[in-house]
Amino acid sequence: MHGNYNLPKNSMLKISRDDVYKLNAVLTGEVQNDRDLEYKIDGRTPIEGELIKGDKICGYDCYGNIEYTIERFLLKNINSRYTGMPPNIMINFQSSVMLASIDEKFSEDTRPVSSILDFYLSGKINMLFPRSTDRAMEERYSKSRHSIDPEVKKPKHISANTHGASRDYFYIETSDFNFIVQMVDNGFLPDWANGIQIEYRTDFKKIPSELEREAISEIVSFVLGTHLLKIGESHIDASNNVLYRKSMNPWGDNVISKCSSSASPPISLNDHEDRDKIERVLKKLVPKYLELRENLGFKDVLWKYWIANELAIGTNLPILSSALESLAERYIESNDLTRSYSKAEKTAYKKLIKPEQDSLSEKLESFDFSKRVLDILVNPYSLGVGQKLKLFFQKIGLDFSNDSVEAEALKARNKMTHSSLDTSDEEMIKYLRLSGAYKSLFNRTLLKILEFDETYINFYSKSPSNIDMSENMKRE
């Protein structure tokens, strides 16, 4: 161990998961000085308000076969007692540990990685998975006479013979890589949890980079309609031996609530006559999403989207509108939809309008909006939020009038941002439906950018329905 704490090498760390699947750790050991347990920055005690990043520590299992690395390691709730007699007094301590993740590297194995499995907690996915998995567990017996017969490797798992099959995965093929998205058997999870595994293999095509795998989980989350909360990954060789494993905390504080809620996908995924739809859709959307992700800031946009989905009516729309406005701004910037003016051009414009500016200033002097009008005249180079959204929608091919459901949903954001909602049943139902309309507008917008051209779900409707991507929502 090294870094911000002065902990002895023979300290013992036990790690588990708590009731909400967060990593939980307890450190025990023995030090000579209780100052060794104090967090230090370059050997000094941090001053009040100074950022504490946590320590990075390394350790091994009792056999020395597994190397552990922990980032952002912090001690809390330290209990200690003195033992021994002077001058050999020691301090036995036990402390809870805060940590974000733990890496496990199995020995110094140089065998190449054959597959990577990424694991996620998720909400309830009520979808028809198109492909089946067969499973079998069989008893195995072996017999080996010491010193005479060759050693027979003992099986790791012994159980009664069982066989079964279930529709629980889909398979996405792209030009660069393929991957499997599979439901995790509930037997491996807490009672309240649901899980998804995304699997990449070298025998498919190349294994995507860490950044690409993160992006894939984002677009899969969006299409499935549930935020995939990563909890770990395993790197495996061709013989199914684990070479590397990482465990991490699921994001956020409402993990049980997120996993208990039902998925709300932007498109219908339960068509019995079109079971392959999820594969067809993601085959098209994944490459496009990866292509545009950085320029359009999709990662941050979808973080806001998921946060808004967790919030109550009254607080959700400002966050969701921030996601849409961020997307619009990045799209406008990325596609050079507005031009920049040079200093010389601005000077020429200012000189050109000077007579009209002076005249208007005099004529509007008695009006309280005088400064606002003149500011727009003097500085017309920057677009307001409303103007940016209008330009954005126009460029991606969304056309709706000022009295449309979409326009009313956009205005509802202002009501939630700048004033309190009437808590009457009628008002709450109105804004519940407008929140659904805003969500549908966001979904449609993102799908449109990704060149999806089928149908999307109208959450404004009293009973969510599918409408064509070219159609606006209608009042009922």
Q: What is the DSSP string of 310-360?
A: HSPTTTHHHHHHHHHHHHHHHHHHHTT-S----HHHHHHHHHHHHHHHHHH
Give the whole-angstrom CA distance, residue 455 versus residue 402.
23
- As given in the structure block, the two tokens for residue 315 are 């607080």
Residue 85: count of CB within 10 angstroms of its CB: 7
415: three-class secondary structure by DSSP? helix
The alpha carbon of 112 is separated from its chain's Cα centroid by a whole number of angstroms, namely 28
pLDDT of residue 123: 93
Q: How far apart are the first and last CA of the chain?
A: 65
Q: What is the pLDDT of residue 140?
A: 65
Q: Please report the pLDDT score of residue 418 as a whole number.
A: 54
Strand partners, 115: 201, 236
* Cβ atoms < 10 Å from Cβ of 184: 17
What pLDDT, on the 0 to 100 scale, is given for residue 391? 92
What does the pLDDT profile of the chain (476 residues) look like in tens digits?
446 888 888 889 999 999 899 998 999 999 888 888 888 887 788 877 777 888 888 888 888 888 899 988 888 888 988 887 777 888 899 999 988 899 999 876 678 899 999 999 999 998 888 888 887 766 666 666 666 766 655 555 545 555 556 788 999 999 999 999 999 988 888 889 999 999 999 988 889 999 999 999 999 999 999 999 999 999 999 888 899 999 999 988 889 999 999 999 999 998 888 889 999 999 999 999 999 999 999 999 999 999 999 888 778 899 999 999 999 999 999 998 887 778 888 888 888 888 888 888 888 888 888 888 888 788 877 778 888 999 999 999 999 998 999 999 998 887 766 566 666 778 788 888 999 999 999 999 999 999 999 999 999 998 889 999 999 999 87
Do residues 431 and 454 touch, judged by C-beta distance below 8 A?
no
> What's the CA gap between 289 and 219, in Å, rounded?
7
Peptide bond preceding 287 in cis form (omega within 30 of 0):
no
pLDDT at 295: 95
Distance CA 181, CA 201 (A): 12
Q: Which residues contact 374 (CB under 8 A, 6 or more apart)?
A: 357, 360, 361, 364
Q: What does the alpha-carbon distance between residue 19 and residue 398 come to, in Å, rounded to a whole number?
A: 45
